[in-house]
A and B are shown apart, each in its own frame.
Chain A
């Protein structure tokens, strides 16, 4: 079964600074990868996704992520954070098992982002 690891539970950056949130996955085949953001008291919203093709994907709100197969990583980046980016961020991998007929989405533990003014 696949797994997703977000090594950083909590990150604090200053407004205007660059940001990188780490995500590592374990999956045998080419994964379907996602980043979601959860603002306080809200559900999750999709930031971006990777299925195939260009390994650098652009998302909403100025975020981007790069898929690196050799490192099993899908790190999220933003060149300059805004106070409104304070939220919890989740990396997820989609699994589709033809043999078992199972389809599921597995989430990492989440990274809470705090922005200092």
Chain B
């Protein structure tokens, strides 16, 4: 089954404690991206990757890092989380940017 898998689904952490949210897709897609969803703001892109070892900033990259060492995986790293990073995060993949994007189930992160 074609899917994008994110882990964990829920996470509560403390300010400053490094964390990683994993994202994996099994569709051999080139394009992957991370979004955060906040009430009234829709989805805002954090980072995207057009292929292995090719990543770039989206609209709200501050406080986040990503890597793309393999085509299927695109982890999101918060080196020092802060409360304003409390949000719902989605990973997505698509063959190219202008084709259908497949979304993971989301990760609800709370930073206290």
CA distance A24 to B106 in the complex (A): 26
Cβ–Cβ contact B44 & A103, under 8 A: no
State the Cβ distance, A60 to closest chain B Cβ, in Å. Answer: 11
Interface residue tally on B, bucketed by range: 20 to 34
For window 94-117 of chain A, which residues contact chain B by CB distance below 8 Å?
Answer: 94-96, 102-110
Cβ–Cβ contact A44 & B103, under 8 A: yes
Cβ–Cβ contact B42 & A109, under 8 A: yes
Q: Which residue of B lies closest to A103 (CB)?
A: B97
Cβ–Cβ contact A109 & B33, under 8 A: no
Cβ–Cβ contact B97 & A107, under 8 A: no
Q: Pick the contact of A43: B44, B58, B100, B103 (CB < 8 A).
A: B103
Determine if A32 is an interface residue (Cβ-Cβ < 8 Å). yes
Which residue, of B4, B56, B101, has the highest number of chain A Cβ atoms within 10 A? B101
Chain A residue total in the interface (Cβ 8 A): 27
**Chain A residues, Cβ within 8 Å of B22:** none
**Chain A residues, Cβ within 8 Å of B42:** 4, 6, 90, 107-110
Cβ–Cβ contact A43 & B50, under 8 A: no
State the Cβ distance, A104 to closest chain B Cβ, in Å. Answer: 6
**Chain A residues, Cβ within 8 Å of B12:** none
Cβ–Cβ contact B41 & A32, under 8 A: no
Cβ–Cβ contact A90 & B43, under 8 A: yes
State the Cβ distance, A72 to closest chain B Cβ, in Å. Answer: 18
For window 1-20 of chain B, which residues contact chain A by CB distance below 8 Å?
Answer: 4
**Chain B residues, Cβ within 8 Å of A32:** 98
CA distance A85 to B27 in the complex (A): 28
Interface set of A (CB-CB < 8 Å, partner B)? 4, 6, 9, 32, 34, 36, 41-46, 49, 51, 90, 94-96, 102-110
> What are the 4 tightest A-B residue pairs by CB atom distance, in nearest-first order?
A43-B103, A103-B97, A107-B43, A109-B42
